[in-house]
Chain A
Amino acid sequence: MIASHERAVAAGELGAELERLGGRLMMLFVAGNSTPGSHDLRAIARSDDGVIVLRARVYGSAYPAVTPRVPAAHWFEREIHDLVAIVPEDHPRLEPLVRHPADQGEVRLPEEQEDMPLEHRGAERLAGPGVFVIPYGPVRSGVLETAQFLVQTGGEDVAYCAQRLFFKRRGAERRICEAPPELAVLVAERVCGTSSVAHALAFSHAVESLGATEVPPRAQAIRRVLAEIERLYNHVEVTVRECEDASLSVAQAQFAVLKERLHRLAGSLVGNRYLRGAVVPGGTRIDLDTSAVDLIGATLVDWEREWRVVLSVLLRTDSFLDRLVSTGPLAQQDARDFACVGPVARGSGIDVDTRRDLPYDGYPPFEVASHSDGDAMARMEVRFQEVDASLELIREAIASLAQGPIRTLPRPFTRDSGLGASESARGETLYWLEAGGERTISFCKLRAASFVNFGVFNRVFDAQVLTDFSFIEHSLGLSPAGCDA
Chain B
Amino acid sequence: MIRWFLRGLSRSRVTTRYPRGEEPPPAGFRARALLDAEAVGPSDAAALAATCLPGALTVTGTGSLRLDGSRCIGCGLCLDVAEGRAVTLDPGYETATRSRERLLAGDGAREADVEAATLTGPFRRSLHIRHVDTGSDGAVEQEIAALLNPYYDMQRLGLFFTATPRHADVLLVTGPVTRPMEAPLRRTYEAMPEPRVVVAAGTDACSGGIWTGPEVLGGVDRVLAVDVYIPGDPPSPIALLHGLLLAAGRVREASAPIVGDGPMVPGAGIGDAA
A residues at B contact (CB < 8 Å): 100, 104-106, 138-139, 141-146, 166-171, 174-175, 178-179, 182-183, 186-187, 190-194, 196, 237, 248, 250-251, 253-254, 256-257, 259-260, 263-264, 267-268, 271-274, 276-277, 285, 309-310, 313, 316-317, 319, 479-482, 484
Contacts and interface: CB of A to CB of B under 8 A. Distances in A.
Contact of A143 (B29, B145, B182, B236): B145
Nearest to A482: B138
Nearest to A319: B1
Contacts of B157: none
A171 B138 contact: no
B213 A194 contact: no
A253 B150 contact: yes
A101 to B, nearest CB: 9
Interface residues of B, number: 70
Given A190-B209, A260-B146, A272-B74, 20 more contacts: A104-B183, A138-B184, A139-B165, A141-B163, A143-B141, A145-B138, A146-B135, A169-B215, A170-B135, A170-B178, A182-B77, A193-B139, A193-B140, A194-B137, A267-B25, A268-B26, A273-B236, A276-B233, A317-B3, A484-B135
Contact of B134 (A146, A191, A192, A260): A146
Interface string B126-157: 00000111111111111111101111000000
B184 A183 contact: no
A408 to B, nearest CB: 16
Nearest to A146: B133
B14 A257 contact: yes
Interface stretch (B5-13, B60-68, B114-122, B261-269): B5-13
A316 B144 CA distance: 30
B141 A105 contact: no
Given A105-B183, A186-B210, A277-B76, A169 B178 contact: yes
Contacts of A277: 30, 74-77
Given A273-B234, A273-B236, A191 B137 contact: yes
B19 to A, nearest CB: 18
A171 B216 contact: yes
Task: Specify which of B7, B25, B91, B142 lies most central, judged by the most chain A CB atoms within 10 Å of its CB.
Answer: B142
Task: Specify which of B4, B181, B215 lies most central, judged by the most chain A CB atoms within 10 Å of its CB.
Answer: B4
Contacts of B176: 170
A190 B137 contact: yes
Tell me if B's interface is mostly helix, strand, loop or mixed.
Answer: loop
12 contacts: A104-B182, A138-B184, A143-B144, A146-B184, A169-B178, A170-B176, A171-B213, A175-B213, A193-B138, A263-B146, A271-B91, A277-B30
Contacts of A141: 163-164
Contacts of B182: 104
Contacts of A260: 146, 149, 151
A256 B141 contact: no
A1 to B, nearest CB: 26
B136 A313 contact: no
Task: Specify which of B8, B136, B182 lies most central, judged by the most chain A CB atoms within 10 Å of its CB.
Answer: B136
Interface in B179-213: 179-184, 187-188, 204, 209-213
Contact of B215 (A170, A256, A274): A170
Contact of B28 (A183, A186, A271, A317): A271
B4 A313 contact: yes
Given A271-B28, A313-B4, A313-B7, A193 B136 contact: yes
Given A251-B4, A271-B28, A271-B29, A257 B211 contact: no
A385 B77 CA distance: 37
B5 A250 contact: yes
Interface in B67-84: 73-77
A187 B215 CA distance: 15
A254 B150 CA distance: 8
A271 B210 contact: no
B231 interface: no
B138 A253 contact: no
B49 to A, nearest CB: 12
Given A145-B136, A193-B139, A257 B149 contact: yes
Given A237-B142, A277-B75, A271 B30 contact: yes
Contacts of A482: 138
A193 B234 contact: yes
A187 B165 CA distance: 32
Contacts of A237: 142
Contacts of A192: 137-138
Contacts of A479: 138
A190 B210 contact: yes
